Amino acid sequence: MVRIEIDPGAGFCFGVEKVIGKAESMLKEGEKVYTLGEMIHNTAEMNRLHSLGMQTLDHGDLSSLKPEAILIRAHGEPPSTYKLAEKLHIRVIDGTCPIVIRLQKKIRQAYEGMDRDREQLVIFGKEDHPETVGHLGQVSGDAVVIGSPEEIAKVDPGKRVLLFSQTTMDPDLFREVEERLGAYLKKHREAFPEKSPDASPGNDPEPLLRSSCTICGQMKKRKPGLAAFARKHDLMLFVSGRHSSNGKMLYQFCRSVNPNTYWISGAGEIDPAWLDGVTSIGVSGATSTSIDQLESVAGQLRKIAP
């Protein structure tokens, strides 16, 4: 008999659960729900919400359609979106995750307090990810975004760095960015001491890099939990939308721990041949994958398992 287990650490993160709960309760009350941009990177879940009556709008639709109200997703929005909604008399129902709101504030305050001639803001994140777009909006776009340790050459080595991260990035990659960036800035200071504003003789120079690991705690604990879970099973099925950045990262990590891992977006993608000779199957997913989706995959496995 094949053992099938759902990862106890999987399911929606707190921010996603909260905004989806909000949308569902509004729909139940018979209210119209318009969200701005894809609420989560999970097509199956988006289809479910659309079937309940939710509609997804683009930013460009705001001026033409002028909905009565819009629901802001957990990733947040830049200030320009709130201003536009106010101008168009559109009520904003803010579903931004409180952790993202705190980070937006932190980035804004760091920017306001920094010496822009000598310091620069760097965000480790995906340039087109809605959360990072929201952070950039806090500082009028005046920040360097790097999506991987390989991109540190985008940073001006002649300025000190204040480093933050999008909440859903990989904590191990963040540490690598920190290390490489620190070495990059130090190398430049040693090679061109005259170009370093802090290197006046007799003075202790200010740190070249001030880093704040702002990756969400829910993300940080996912990898160790997933590793322990993936090691226990012969076969791992990782469920998430193809556009989910943390889904991609967690799938790749899961596969590095258990090479017999497959990435699927739903029960319909299970290949029965994967089950040949396996005695235990683990089912896990991204922070935007619901427990219902994991259960539907587990249910399908129970039907076809030998």
The site string for ligand SF4 over 129-158 (x = CB under 6 A, - otherwise) reads: ------------------------------
Give the pairing of strands 261-264 and 235-239. parallel
| Torsion sign, CA atoms 112, 116, 120, 125 | positive
The one among 81, 104, 132, 287 contacting ligand SF4 by CB under 6 A: 287
Residue 92: beta bridge partners? 70
Q: What is the DSSP string of 130-160?
A: HHHHHHHHHTTT-SEEESSGGGGGGS-TTSE
CB of 13 to ligand SF4, least distance (A): 3
Q: Is 13 in the site for ligand SF4 (CB under 6 A)?
A: yes
Q: Which stretch binds ligand SF4 (CB under 6 A): 48-56, 87-95, 97-105, 190-198?
A: 97-105
- Which residue has tokens 């950039």? 136
Question: Is 119 or 131 the residue whose CB approaches ligand SF4 more closely?
Answer: 131
Q: Is 40 in the site for ligand SF4 (CB under 6 A)?
A: no
- Residue 287: how many other CB atoms lie within 10 Å: 27
Active-site amino acid positions: 131
> What is the C-alpha separation between 146 and 149, in angstroms, rounded?
7
Enumerate the H helices of the chain as residue ranges.
14-28, 43-51, 61-65, 79-87, 98-113, 130-138, 171-191, 217-231, 245-257, 291-304
Angle between helices 79-87 and 130-138 (to 10 degrees): 80
The one among 99, 110, 145, 169 contacting ligand SF4 by CB under 6 A: 99
User: CB of 287 within 8 A of CB of 222?
Assistant: yes
Q: Is 14 in the site for ligand SF4 (CB under 6 A)?
A: yes
Q: Which stretch binds ligand SF4 (CB under 6 A): 13-21, 84-92, 204-212, 296-304?
A: 13-21
The one among 36, 62, 216, 254 contacting ligand SF4 by CB under 6 A: 216
Q: Which stretch binds ligand SF4 (CB under 6 A): 14-22, 30-38, 50-58, 227-235?
A: 14-22
Q: Which stretch binds ligand SF4 (CB under 6 A): 20-28, 95-103, 107-115, 173-181?
A: 95-103
Which residue of this chain has its Cβ atom nearest to ligand SF4 in the complex?
15
CB of 126 to ligand SF4, least distance (A): 13
> What is the C-alpha separation between 114 and 300, in angstroms, rounded?
55
The one among 36, 123, 209, 219 contacting ligand SF4 by CB under 6 A: 219
User: CB of 160 within 8 A of CB of 118?
Assistant: yes
CB of 25 to ligand SF4, least distance (A): 18
- Which residue has tokens 């119209």? 32
Residue 36: beta bridge partners? 57
Q: Is 289 in the site for ligand SF4 (CB under 6 A)?
A: no
Question: Is 98 or 193 the residue whose CB approaches ligand SF4 more closely?
Answer: 98
Q: Is 167 in the site for ligand SF4 (CB under 6 A)?
A: yes
Candidates 221, 219, 226; CA nearest to 246 is 219
Contacting residues toward ligand SF4, per CB under 6 A:
13-16, 74, 97, 99-100, 167-168, 216, 218-219, 287
